[in-house]
Structure 1
Amino acid sequence: MNPITLGIIYFTIFLGPVITMSSTNLMLMWVGLEFSLLAIIPMLINKKNPRSTEAATKYFVTQATASMIILLAIVLNYKQLGTWMFQQQTNGLILNMTLMALSMKLGLAPFHFWLPEVTQGIPLHMGLILLTWQKIAPLSILIQIYPLLNSTIILMLAITSIFMGAWGGLNQTQMRKIMAYSSIAHMGWMLAILPYNPSLTLLNLMIYIILTVPMFMALMLNSSMTINSISLLWNKTPAMLTMISLMLLSLGGLPPLTGFLPKWIIITELMKNNCLIMAPLMAMMALLNLFFYTRLIYSTSLTMFPTNNNSKMMTHQTKTKPNPMFSTLTIMSTMTLPLAPQLII
């Protein structure tokens, strides 16, 4: 692709969420969403992989449907109240339509079926953008309008997403699908705390991005797509396999790694708000999520085949170029909580 065209596309992908976050007008928010959608579609298509065209089509149809519902809600709200922003007098049906459409854009259950399939069919670097940067714009709209939304529906979407994110990842062998189901579960945690403390939703989003970026970078550096390909790293770069294992445990929320921090804070905040059923339920689902990460690590690094001396010698001959950004993000994704334990107070 032409470098100038590529630069324009990446700039538009960056610009879309920025417009949405900085707007107080629903139409401008919608324009920001469309900027991101239309700019990312050409990047999802890979001529060498026919499945990427299918993934791009699925992504476009799903996102276009959600955008149409949001636009319909905006127009109905303007017709009813004569304003381009939701108000206390806004019809509940319009708000619920918007919530469902944003849930579809975020990949929240039960509107999540497109996300694993699309993530599996696109390159790793685009999967990273899809699971991190593309989540910011819809989530920023939810944070702005959450006082008007039905908290019961929000909590139901959150619980369903956490459960489906944990349950869906159990039988997966493809790393991109595992990361997609991890994204669904993390989005559920962000949504669960939204009605009570939206600042914790932003904290959870930031930590989720810190956890996800180095994980995708590790997969890209080693061209690892499946669990089997990760297990082969032991003979090539054993240090990389160790870091991937730690990052997976952090994604699962195992203390004292970084991923435990948002779960601990969110459960504490839910208990303070007398959510005495939801908090233990989310904790049990987090164990289910941690189980498939632990099983993944068990099959890749804890049960290794015997290696002969030649393969061990090859290990010392393998050299990789230093990557300061990857090293920094890896430390942040695993050691933030041990280095700063007062964050949970």
Structure 2
Amino acid sequence: MYMNYYIYILFFPMMLISNFMIFLSNTWVTNWMIMEINLISFIMMMIFDKNLKNELLMNYFLLQTFNSYIFLFSSLLMNYMNMMFFFIFLMNLAMLTKLGIPPFYVWYLKIMMNLNWLNLLFMSTIQKIIPMFIFMMLISFNSKNLFFFNVLMILFFMFIISILGLNQINMKLILAYSSMIQISWMMMLSYLNELIFLNYFIIYFIISMNLILMFNKMNFLNLNQFSILKFNNKFIYIFMMMLLLSLSSIPPMFGFLMKWISIDLMSKKLLFLMILMMIFNSLVSMFFYIRIMFYSLMLNFYSMKMNFKFLNFKNYMNNNFLMNWLMFVMLMIYEIF
């Protein structure tokens, strides 16, 4: 147990410094070196994660290393051959894989589901900084083909991810699916305004940090465990509900403010189809978090033995699909009006 704390004390500053170093780098090779330092520091913290199997750890290491070498190979050959767009495209794919963006997301779900809460926080927030920075460097090449590829792929696969995440009850998987949707917003903002992107990321990090640390404290692993009776202090429960509302972009929370600003930027660029698709993804992400509050109240009523004729709590898992879609319809009505 104490060894775990020593490992975090030693390697967390290294991981943090590597994320700041990337902002001072101006060459591709330096970016690659910083990525490797960051990878080593994070893997050292993952090694002492009792929840993570060695097989998954090795898969993560091989995947990250493979994409790092694709990035290095492409950056070295980009200026020596008349195939610049091809190598930029390879670098772009490598960064999308590191971010866990669909269709390169299967590894991300497997790793997130088996991490402890602290490493899950790092994976969903801090470990996104370097790939996102390099992704923004690739944007500076002003390639229209790359822009259309990224936009179409993100919008299409985010729609699929939104549907796949509807019926999840594992809290870590819910956060993983929501993280992919939030990253899609950040990637769109990186094309529009870097300052708004930075503000969006900071707000997302603060909300996620508080929420995940509270989940860790209460030991919530799935929706069945999420009951209001687990909170001795009702203020903590209310604070958690406010965090969920903010992350689900309910007005007047900070999460809604950032989505509002993002949609305003897209409307000025006349990206109306993109706005429609992103609102739908946000709507489903909103459903993820409101469903947590919904289950919390329902489980609380169940523990108090309140018997409603229209709900059968003994078989409420069989009614899971029906409740999900009822909540989804309610959220659609909210978004429209």
**TM-score of the aligned structures, taking structure 2 as reference length:** 0.82
Report % sequence identity. 25
Provide the rounded CA distance (Å) in 1 between the counterparts of 2:32 and 2:292.
39
Deviations 1:241-274 (A, max 9, x none): 3322222222111111111112111111111001
Residue 293, structure 1, aligned to residue 286, structure 2:
no
Shift in Å, 1:168: 3.1
**Per-residue deviation at 1:182?**
1.1
CA displacement at 1:108 relative to structure 2: 1.1
Distance 1:243 1:6 in 2: 28
Q: Partners in 2 of 1:138 and 1:267 — Cα distance?
A: 24
Q: Contact between 2:97 and 2:104, CA under 8 Å: does it hold in 1?
A: yes
- 2:126 corresponds in structure 1 to 133
Q: Output the CA distance in 1 between the equivalents of 2:302 and 2:6.
A: 50
Across the aligned residues of Structure 1 and Structure 2, the Cα RMSD in angstroms comes to 2.3
Matched, 1:70 2:66: no
Among 239, 245, 254, the residue aligned to 1:243: 239
Determine the C-alpha separation between the residues in 1 that align with 2:206 and 2:123.
15
Does the C-alpha gap of structure 1 residues 284 and 110 become closer, same or farther in structure 2, counting only changes over 3 Å? same
Cα deviation for residue 232 of structure 1 reads: 5.6
User: Residue in 1 aligned with 2:150?
Assistant: 154
Moved more, 146-155 or 93-102: 146-155
Residue of structure 2 in register with 1:326 after alignment: none
The corresponding residue for 1:279 is 275
Given that 1:164 and 1:185 are in contact with CA atoms closer than 8 Å, whether structure 2 keeps it comes out as no
Contact 2:211 2:240 in 1 (8 A): yes
Match of 1:304, SS state, is: helix
The runs of at least 4 aligned residues of structure 1 exceeding 4 Å deviation read 2-6, 232-235
Cα distance in 2 for partners of 1:137, 1:43 equals 18
CA contact (8 A) 1:161 1:187 kept: no
For residue 137 of structure 1, report the CA deviation from its aligned partner.
Answer: 0.9
Counterpart residue number, 1:23:
25
Q: Which amino acid aligns with 1:112?
A: Y
Cα deviation, residue 62, structure 1: 2.0
Distance 1:47 1:250, change over 3 A: closer
Q: Which amino acid in the other structure matches residue 259 of structure 1? A: G
Q: Which residue is equivalent to 1:43?
A: 45
The separation in 2 between residues aligned to 1:62 and 1:237, in whole angstroms, is 43
- Amino acid of the residue matched to residue 60 of structure 1? F
Is the Cα–Cα contact under 8 Å of residues 181 and 281 in structure 2 kept in the other structure? no
* Alignment-derived partner of residue 327 in structure 2: none
Partner of 1:12: 14
Give 3-state SS (helix, strand or coil) of 1:255's partner: coil
The aligned residue for residue 123 of structure 1 is 116
**1:67-106 paired onto structure 2 within 5 Å:** 67-80=68-81, 91-106=84-99
Distance 1:179 1:47 in 2: 19
Which residue of 1 is the match for residue 307 of structure 2? none
Whole-angstrom distance in 1 between the partners of 2:278 and 2:17:
35
- Listed as ranges, the gaps of 5+ residues in structure 1 are 81-88, 309-345
1:21 touches 1:141 (CA, 8 Å); kept in 2?
Answer: no
Change (3 A) 1:123 1:61: same
The range that moved more, 224-233 or 64-73, is 224-233
Question: Does the 8 Å contact 1:20/1:30 carry over to 2?
Answer: no
- C-alpha separation in 1, matches of 2:230 and 2:132: 39
1:263 & 1:154 partners in 2: Cα distance?
A: 20
* Aligned residue in 2 for 1:85: none
Give the alignment partner of residue 207 of structure 1, picking from 199, 203, 207.
203
**Alignment CA distance shift 1:268-1:306 (3 Å):** same
Q: For each residue in 1:269-327, what CA deviation from the matched residue of structure 2 results, as whole angstroms up to 9, or x when unmatched?
A: 1110011211122112211221232222211125523656xxxxxxxxxxxxxxxxxxx
Distance 1:4 1:222, change over 3 A: closer
Partner Cα distance (2:273, 2:289) in 1: 25
Given that residues 231 and 301 in structure 1 are in contact (C-alpha distance below 8 angstroms), is that contact kept between their aligned partners in structure 2? yes
* Deviation (angstroms), 1:230: 2.0
How far apart in 2 are the matches of 1:180 and 1:214?
A: 16
Corresponding residue SS for 2:250: coil
Corresponding residue SS for 1:24: coil
Quote the Cα distance in structure 2 between the aligned partners of 1:254 and 1:2: 38
Task: List per-residue Cα deviations over 1:118-163 (Å, max 9, x = no partner).
Answer: 0111111111111111111111112223121421122123314532
Hey, what's the Cα distance between the residues in 2 that align with 1:20 and 1:177? 29
C-alpha deviation, 1:220, in angstroms: 1.6
- Cα gap change, 1:223/1:5 in structure 2, threshold over 3 Å: closer, same or farther? closer
Partner residue in 1 for 2:250: 254
In the alignment, residue 114 of structure 1 is paired with which amino acid? W
Q: Give the Å deviation of 1:3.
A: 6.4
